[in-house]
Structure 1
Amino acid sequence: MRVIPLSVTLLAAALTLTACNDGGGATNGKGDSACAIGGVSVQIGSASVAPGAGDTGEVPVSITNQSAPCTLDDFPDVVLVTGGSKVAVPVAQGAKAQKLKLAKGDFASFTISYVRGAAGDGTSLAAKTVEISLPGAKDAESFPWSYGPVAGKGGSDNTPNASVGAFQQSGD
Structure 2
Amino acid sequence: MSWPIRTRTGSRAGRVRPGADPAARARPARVRTAVRARTAARAGVRALGTLAVAAVAASLVPASPAIAAPPPPCLTSDLALSWAPGGTAVSGGTEPGSSRTAVVSLRNAGTATCMLDGFPKVTLAQGATTENLVDQRSVSHSAVDLEPGASARFTLTFRQGQSGEDGVVEPVTAIVTPPNNTASKNMRWRWGPVAEQESADPPRNFVGPVVPS
Q: Which amino acid letter does the alignment assign opposite residue 71 of structure 2?
A: D
What displacement does 1:31 show?
A: 6.3
Residue 53 of structure 1 pairs with residue 92 of structure 2: no
Residue 90 of structure 1 pairs with residue 90 of structure 2: no
**Out of 174, 179, 196, which is 1:130 matched to?**
174
**Number of residues of Structure 1 aligned to a counterpart in Structure 2:** 140
**Out of 74, 80, 92, which is 2:118 matched to?**
74
User: Are the equivalent residues in 2 in contact too, given 1:152–1:160 (CA < 8 A)?
Assistant: no
The structure with the largest alpha-carbon Rg is 2
Q: Which amino acid letter does the alignment assign opposite residue 74 of structure 2?
A: C
Q: Identify the residue that residue 40 of structure 1 maps to in structure 2.
A: 79
User: Are the equivalent residues in 2 in contact too, given 1:78–1:89 (CA < 8 A)?
Assistant: yes
Structure 2, unpaired ranges of 5+: 1-68
Q: Structure 2: how far apart are the matches of 1:160 and 1:132?
A: 19
Q: Identify the residue that residue 150 of structure 1 maps to in structure 2.
A: 194
3-state SS of paired residue (2:180): coil
User: Are the equivalent residues in 1 in contact too, given 2:131–2:196 (CA < 8 A)?
Assistant: no
Deviation string, structure 1 residues 28-65 (Cα, Å, up to 9, x no partner) = xx663211222121111245325221122211111111
Q: Identify the residue that residue 24 of structure 1 maps to in structure 2.
A: none
Q: Structure 2: how far apart are the matches of 1:150 and 1:159?
A: 15
What displacement does 1:76 show?
A: 1.0
Q: Structure 2: how far apart are the matches of 1:107 and 1:145?
A: 21
**Distance of aligned partners of 1:138 and 1:87 in 2 relative to their CA distance in 1, 3 Å threshold:** same
3-state SS of paired residue (1:38): helix
Structure 1, unpaired ranges of 5+: 1-29
What's the TM-score once normalised by structure 1's chain length? 0.72
Larger % of strand: which? 1
Q: Structure 2: how far apart are the matches of 1:34 and 1:165?
A: 18
**Distance of aligned partners of 1:31 and 1:74 in 2 relative to their CA distance in 1, 3 Å threshold:** same
Q: Identical aligned pairs, as a percentage? A: 24
**Distance of aligned partners of 1:108 and 1:72 in 2 relative to their CA distance in 1, 3 Å threshold:** same
Q: Which has the higher contact order (CA 8 A, sep 6+)?
A: 1
What displacement does 1:98 show?
A: 1.5
**Distance of aligned partners of 1:95 and 1:125 in 2 relative to their CA distance in 1, 3 Å threshold:** same
Q: Structure 2: how far apart are the matches of 1:116 and 1:147?
A: 9
**Distance of aligned partners of 1:44 and 1:124 in 2 relative to their CA distance in 1, 3 Å threshold:** same
